Amino acid sequence: MTHHAHHDEHDDPHATIDTPGATHDPVCGHWVVPEKAHGRTTYQGVTIHFCSTMCERAFAKTPERFFARYQAR
């Protein structure tokens, strides 16, 4: 594995609904691999993973709104 390939793999948290262990980012609607998530938080005892720090910050502003969307999945 080249250094570049390794970097790409590490840097891309995106998954699909079929990826084993993938979790839903409630802010942007993407599926993410928890080990590669760029942000995470715990809300009402549930750990939520984000594809980017931007999504994490958006969640922090209005967690109740996004959490409802997360649970709807």
Closer CB to Zn ion, 2 or 42, in the complex:
42
Closer CB to Zn ion, 5 or 17, in the complex:
17
C-alpha to C-alpha distance for 42 and 66, rounded to whole angstroms: 13
Binds Zn ion (CB under 5 A): choice among 15, 22, 25, 59:
25
Binds Zn ion (CB under 5 A): choice among 31, 51, 58, 59:
51
Exposure string over 2-16, b if 16+ CB within 10 A, otherwise e: eeeeeeeeeeebebe
Q: Please state the closest distance from residue 32 (CB atom) to Zn ion, in A.
A: 7
C-alpha to C-alpha distance for 41 and 62, rounded to whole angstroms: 13
Residue 10 amino acid letter: H
Give residues in contact with Zn ion (CB under 5 A): 25, 27-28, 30, 51, 55
